[in-house]
């Protein structure tokens, strides 16, 4: 991917900065950062040279994601334009995750089967872990085969919180 200029918008949610980054082509990155983080400086270091700027045109997307985080209603999330880069395997996993509806869960092993790579459960977990856009690509809906919720980049507590919000779990 090119070092396209990155813009961002942020809001405070759950004691952290919810940060949404975009290129000219779509959302490329969502992250939760400690309140002490200098967001622009952090993103600059992460994405290369140019200093990112706040982009007010991301306001609608931000509020839609916040609405989802508060209510569990994910209407319109899957229609958000993305600009993510990944290996072919990761893209296969991510696009399969997009098919999981709100309130549903599947196991890493089942997802592996669905992409035609039935012994790759652990690799599927790796692809979930490298999902750059949590919530939009709902990797929190992929759980362990034994019913435990499993790991999550934003913390297992957040994963359970989302699944409860969606009514997928008690």
Partner DNA sequence: ATAACACCAAGAA
Partner DNA sequence: TTCTTGGTGTTAT
Strand (E) or helix (H) holding 24: none
Pairing of strands 53-54, 106-107: unpaired
Query: Exactly one of 153, 158, 160, 169 binds DNA (CB under 7 A); which one?
Result: 153
Query: Which of 17, 102, 131, 163 is the binder for DNA (CB under 7 A)?
Result: 131
Collapsing DSSP to helix, strand or coil, 6 comes out as coil
Q: Would you count residue 152 as binding DNA (CB under 7 A)? A: yes
Q: Are 37 and 31 in contact (CB under 8 A)?
A: no
The whole-angstrom separation of Cα 90 and Cα 133 is 13
- Closest distance of CB 148 from DNA, Å: 8
Shortest distance (Å) from residue 135 CB to DNA? 11
Question: Least CB distance from residue 61 to DNA, whole Å?
Answer: 20
Residue with tokens 């999330």: 77
Beta-bridged to residue 103, according to DSSP, are none
Active site (annotated) includes residue 139:
yes
Q: Is 100 helix (H, G, I), strand (E, B) or coil?
A: coil
# residues near DNA by CB under 7 A: 33
- x/- letters, 79..108, toward DNA (CB under 7 A): -------xxxxx----------------xx
Q: Which is nearer to DNA, 37 or 107 (CB)?
A: 107
């Amino acid at each position: 991917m090119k070092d396209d200029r990155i813009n961002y918008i942020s809001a405070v949610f759950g004691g952290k900065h919810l940060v949404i980054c975009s290129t000219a082509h779509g959302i490329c990155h969502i992250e939760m950062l400690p309140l002490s983080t200098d967001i622009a400086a952090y993103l600059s270091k992460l994405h290369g040279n140019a200093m990112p700027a706040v982009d007010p045109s991301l306001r609608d997307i931000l509020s839609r994601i916040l609405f989802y985080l508060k209510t569990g209603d994910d209407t319109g999330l899957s229609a958000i334009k993305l600009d993510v880069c990944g290996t072919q395997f990761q893209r296969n996993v991510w696009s399969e995750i997009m098919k999981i509806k709100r309130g549903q869960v599947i196991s890493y092993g089942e997802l592996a089967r669905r992409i035609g790579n039935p012994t790759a459960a652990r690799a599927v977990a790796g692809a979930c872990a490298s999902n750059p856009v949590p919530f939009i690509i709902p990797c929190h809906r992929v759980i362990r085969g034994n019913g435990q919720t499993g790991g999550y980049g934003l913390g297992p507590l957040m994963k359970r919180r989302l699944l409860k919000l969606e009514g997928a779990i008690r």
